């Protein structure tokens, strides 16, 4: 199926039908690979009302990054979450985002048919800059409950996150925290379920490899420092500690640097990402190295 695209200029509306990229907190391109995650379905976006952005999506199929095949979203989700494969009617996503000045408020609803419903709220606020120092705050909350045929059994997830950041000249420091309540009778002890994601949701404490996504309940603490050495060179280092409730604790240190190659082609950059993961489980330590060339069209 090809992609049909319609834009109504007067109403600031776009409608996309067919196979395309979707950019939402829990369904997005996940484009650390050369080919991004793609979906098949219908997407609607509207920005007619000042300060308010509205969007809706109905997704029926998904193509993972290393695959050439579009699968029913239910089949993909069941396989990803380790249950018997089942086709479902699709995924419904709705969003309203209100932005005025440096305040942003987001509300998201997801219905993963026959699996679970999810609500996500997020707020971000930038304080006025003082003597070159800019401070910002973020907060988020996640609620998930089983729905329909309840293919996962009991889904009962309650989570929240907090973030504080400071920017001064070329340096930026971010301290973040996420917590997921322990639910012993729920699927994966109440973990945050993200069937379409690979450590790339909106969770404040995600890393190159480690994430609370699809894992377990528990708490995560993360510190990140980035420094822009030159207009085209940025270094980043972060450290996260995962205190799980029902599995071994994990720590991850990420070292990341990006070099802009605009002299060769505008939008081209070279990136080297290193993840150092240590675990309380013997033999689970690992070193993850990713070398990437990125080009922004």
Q: In angstroms, how far is CA 158 from the centroid of its own chain?
A: 17
Fold classification of 4-295 is: Porin (2.40.160)
pLDDT of 89 > 90? The answer is yes
Distance CA 76, CA 82 (A): 10
Domain range annotation of the chain: 4-295
The predicted pLDDT at position 2 comes to 47
| Residue 231: CB atoms within 10 Å | 9
pLDDT of 151 > 80? The answer is yes
What CA–CA distances, in Å, run from 51 to 13, 39, 47, 127, 289?
14, 28, 8, 19, 41
pLDDT of 270 > 70? The answer is yes
pLDDT category at 11 given cuts 50, 70, 90 is low
Distance CA 63, CA 43 (A): 16
HEC profile of 46-86: ECCCCCEEEEEEEEEEEECCCCCCCEEHHHHHHHHHCCCCC
Distance CA 28, CA 110 (A): 13
The predicted pLDDT at position 164 comes to 98
The predicted pLDDT at position 7 comes to 58
DSSP code for 245: S
User: Percent of the chain scored above 70 by pLDDT?
Assistant: 95
pLDDT of 272 > 50? The answer is yes
The model's pLDDT over 40-75, given as tens digits with 9 standing for 90+, comes to: 999 999 999 999 999 999 999 999 887 889 999 999
In angstroms, what is the C-alpha Rg of the chain?
20
Average pLDDT over residues 127-151: 97
Average pLDDT over residues 249-263: 94
Phi, psi of 9 (to 5 degrees): -65, -45
| Residue 229: CB atoms within 10 Å | 11
pLDDT of 3 > 60? The answer is no
Structure tokens at 253: 């240190």
The predicted pLDDT at position 293 comes to 84
The predicted pLDDT at position 1 comes to 42
The model's pLDDT over 22-44, given as tens digits with 9 standing for 90+, comes to: 999 999 998 666 678 999 999 99
pLDDT of 5 > 80? The answer is no
pTM above 0.95, yes or no: no
pLDDT of 242 > 60? The answer is yes
Distance CA 207, CA 200 (A): 8
């Amino acid at each position: 199926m090809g992609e049909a695209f319609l834009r109504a200029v007067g109403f600031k509306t776009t409608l996309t039908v067919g196979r395309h990229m979707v950019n939402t907190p829990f369904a997005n391109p996940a484009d650390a690979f050369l080919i991004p995650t793609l979906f098949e379905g219908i997407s609607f976006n509207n920005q007619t009302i000042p300060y308010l952005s509205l969007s809706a999506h109905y997704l029926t199929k998904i193509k993972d990054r290393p695959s050439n095949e579009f699968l029913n979203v239910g089949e993909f989700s069941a396989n990803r979450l380790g249950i018997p494969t089942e086709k479902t009617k699709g995924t419904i996503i709705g969003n309203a985002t209100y932005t005025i000045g440096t305040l942003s408020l987001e509300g998201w609803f997801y219905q993963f048919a026959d699996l679970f419903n999810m609500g996500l709220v997020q707020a971000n606020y930038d304080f006025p800059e003082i003597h070159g120092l800019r401070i910002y705050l973020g907060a988020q909350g996640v609620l998930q409950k089983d729905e329909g045929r309840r293919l996962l059994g009991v889904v009962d997830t309650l989570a929240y996150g907090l973030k504080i950041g400071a920017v001064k000249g070329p340096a930026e420091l971010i301290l973040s925290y996420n917590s997921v309540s322990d639910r012993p009778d729920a699927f994966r002890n109440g973990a945050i379920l993200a069937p379409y994601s690979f450590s790339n949701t909106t969770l404040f404490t995600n890393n190159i490899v480690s994430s609370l996504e699809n894992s377990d309940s528990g708490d995560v603490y993360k510190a990140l420092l980035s420094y822009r050495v030159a207009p085209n060179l940025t270094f980043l280092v972060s450290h996260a500690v995962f205190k799980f409730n029902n599995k071994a604790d994990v720590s991850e240190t990420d070292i990341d640097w990006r070099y802009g190659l605009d002299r060769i082609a505008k939008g081209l950059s070279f990136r080297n990402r290193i993840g150092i993961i240590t675990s309380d489980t013997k033999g689970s330590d690992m070193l993850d190295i990713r070398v990437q060339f990125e080009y922004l069209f």
